[in-house]
Structure formats: C-alpha cells, structure tokens
C-alpha cells in the first residue's frame, strides 16, 4: 500500500464465517511485523465474506457479501465496507448498487480510479451469470454500469483503469484457454475487444508496466510453466518470461512502489511464493 505496509485479506471459518484482515509492517522479523489483525461479522449476520479490497486515501474499501438468514447464503446482500487503516475498525458498511439493467449475483475484484471512485467487476443474475462492471463512488452512488450481452466471461473477471485512458476488463471465456480483453472509454462505453488463446490461468489480476503494456501471468499451453505475458493497447501479446524453475500456478501480479513487479504463485503443496523482479531485466 501507499504507506509501505502489507495488507492481507481472507475469511475466517468456525461456526460462522467472518471477514478477516491483517496489516503487516514489512519488517523481516516476526515480532515487529504484525501491526493489527481483525475479524468482522456484523450483528445479525450469519456469514460475512470478503471478496476484494482496494485503497483510497486513508481507508480500505472492501467488496463483500453478507448472509442474514441461512448458512447456504441463498439470498446474499452485497456490501461495500470502509475500513480505517490505523486500527482496522470498520467505519461503514453500505449496500452496493445493482447495475442499471440487472441484479447482482456475484462479486469479483474492486479497484480504485484516479477520480477517487471504485470500479467493481461482477456478475448479474441471468442464464449465463453475465459479466458486469460497476463504477461507483465511495458512498456507493452509481456512476455507470455495463453488462455483457454475450456469454463470453466464465470467470476470473478483473477490471482496472487503463493508462491510455478509460478502463480495461479481462476475463476467461467458456472456450478452453480463451481469455478476453475489453477496452472501455472513460464513461463506460465499450470500444474494442481482443482474444488470447495460448494458455490458461487461475490468476485474476493484471498490472501495467512503464510502457503502458498490460502484464498478466499464465501457464503456457506448450510449456505448462508459469509465463509472464505483455499485451499492448492494440491487443498484440507476447511472452516476455517463462519461469522454467517453477511448477506452481500463477495467482496475481502487482507493481510495487519502486516500479518492480511482485508476482504471486502457489506450488503443488499449496504453499505461497512471492517473487519480486524488475521487468526491464527480463
């Protein structure tokens, strides 16, 4: 995060499921690493689940769901939570608005925009659980929304503001090893789309390098090894790194404050591996 701290999100499970957050200092020694950790479940809520978070100014914003009546969570409430970074206390919890022409059925990832708004990738209740985007304020006021008119997005949906203006949306398609990238203008109108067919991935995230190329992690179709891909604004994709020494699955990528890339993998024993590297050295 902007202050150099590391935040982790998850869900604690016992009789009731709770949201979980931890803040770490980044220190190498364990006794001084933990700053705070919190579990969250509002009164009257059977289950509470956190899906994704982002930061704006001095607060975290978390997209999640609550279940008020039964353990199966057949009728969830989709919530936007504001968390104080200093101590982890919850400032507010408000309902996420539905898209203009649909009803939410699931949440994926939430990111911050340069205008101080929130961009949420999601799905709506339909035959194919069609993909959607919601652009809203930090008080959950809807700015604009978009719903896919075709069943292209089976999962792994992620959206972000793009460095060339507007927004970009990425997701996996029903066809094997097919991934779709959509570009939107600043007001949420779809502009163009590109498809990729050369690998598979459970990674939902992407990042942008200093040349405004989109960076994504995949398992290559030919090598079955983790690969780092670069895609430019026009949809031209190339493999810039094959991680020959890794047997795990790629999970996420982000750019650190010093411009280097942080890459997250899981190995066959479900351990987590974080790799830090400079893109220009690849």
CB count, 10 Å around CB of 210? 10
The whole-number pLDDT of residue 204 equals 63
For residue 278, the Cα-to-chain-centroid distance in whole angstroms is 22
Residue 240 has pLDDT above 90, yes or no: no
Asked if 22 and 8 count as a contact pair (C-beta separation under 8 A), the reply is yes
The Cα–Cα gap between 99 and 232 comes to: 29
- pLDDT category at 221 given cuts 50, 70, 90 is low
Please give the share of the chain, as a percent, with pLDDT higher than 70. Answer: 84
The Cα–Cα gap between 254 and 100 comes to: 31
The Cα–Cα gap between 176 and 267 comes to: 23
The whole-number pLDDT of residue 1 equals 66
pLDDT digits (tens, 9 = 90+) for 254-271: 888 788 888 888 777 666
Mean pLDDT computed over every residue of the chain: 84
The Cα–Cα gap between 31 and 193 comes to: 48
- pLDDT category at 20 given cuts 50, 70, 90 is very high
Residue 107 has pLDDT above 80, yes or no: yes
For 218, 222, 248, the CA distances from 225, given in Å and listed in that order, are: 8, 8, 8
The whole-number pLDDT of residue 126 equals 77
pLDDT digits (tens, 9 = 90+) for 57-104: 889 999 999 987 766 677 889 999 999 999 999 999 999 999 998 899
Please give the structure tokens belonging to residue 68.
Answer: 């008020």
The Cα–Cα gap between 193 and 15 comes to: 44
Residue 194 has pLDDT above 70, yes or no: yes
- pLDDT category at 113 given cuts 50, 70, 90 is very high
Asked if 272 and 260 count as a contact pair (C-beta separation under 8 A), the reply is no
pLDDT digits (tens, 9 = 90+) for 141-158: 999 999 987 666 656 678
Cβ contacts of residue 185 below 8 Å, gap of 6+? 165, 166, 191
- pLDDT category at 134 given cuts 50, 70, 90 is very high
**Residue 273 vs residue 35, higher pLDDT:** 35
The whole-number pLDDT of residue 200 equals 63
**Residue 140 vs residue 270, higher pLDDT:** 140
The Cα–Cα gap between 241 and 30 comes to: 33
The Cα–Cα gap between 60 and 83 comes to: 5
- pLDDT category at 201 given cuts 50, 70, 90 is low
Closest among 87, 15, 90, 86 to 50, alpha carbons compared: 90
- pLDDT category at 163 given cuts 50, 70, 90 is very high
pLDDT (average), residues 187-200: 79
The Cα–Cα gap between 71 and 79 comes to: 18
178-205 b/e with 16+ CB inside 10 Å = b?
A: bbbbbbbeeebebeeebebeebbbebbb
**Residue 186 vs residue 10, higher pLDDT:** 186
Asked if 227 and 199 count as a contact pair (C-beta separation under 8 A), the reply is yes
């Amino acid at each position: 995060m902007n202050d150099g701290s590391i935040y982790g999100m998850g869900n604690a499970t016992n009789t009731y499921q709770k949201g979980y957050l931890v803040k770490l200092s980044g220190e190498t020694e364990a006794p001084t690493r933990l700053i705070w950790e919190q579990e969250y479940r509002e009164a009257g809520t059977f289950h509470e689940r956190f899906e994704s978070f982002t930061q704006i100014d001095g607060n975290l914003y978390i997209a999640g769901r609550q279940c008020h009546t039964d353990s199966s969570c057949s009728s969830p409430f989709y919530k936007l939570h504001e968390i104080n970074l200093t101590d982890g206390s919850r400032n507010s919890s408000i309902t996420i608005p539905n898209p203009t022409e649909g009803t939410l059925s699931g949440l994926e990832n939430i990111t911050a925009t340069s205008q101080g708004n929130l961009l949420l990738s999601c799905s709506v209740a339909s035959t194919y659980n069609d993909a959607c985007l919601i652009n809203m304020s930090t008080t959950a006021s809807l700015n604009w929304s978009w719903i896919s008119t075709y069943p292209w997005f089976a999962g792994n949906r992620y959206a972000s503001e793009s460095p060339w203006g507007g927004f970009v949306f990425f997701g996996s398609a029903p066809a094997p090893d097919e991934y779709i990238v959509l570009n939107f203008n600043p007001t949420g109108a779809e502009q163009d789309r590109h498809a990729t067919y050369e690998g598979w991935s459970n990674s939902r995230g992407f990042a942008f390098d200093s040349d405004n190329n989109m960076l994504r992690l995949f398992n290559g179709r030919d090598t079955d090894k983790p690969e780092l891909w670069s895609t430019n604004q026009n949809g031209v994709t190339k493999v810039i790194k094959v991680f020959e020494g890794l047997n795990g699955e790629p999970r996420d990528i982000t750019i650190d404050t010093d411009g280097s890339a942080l890459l997250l993998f899981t190995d066959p024993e479900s351990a987590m591996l974080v790799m830090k590297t400079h893109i220009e050295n690849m």
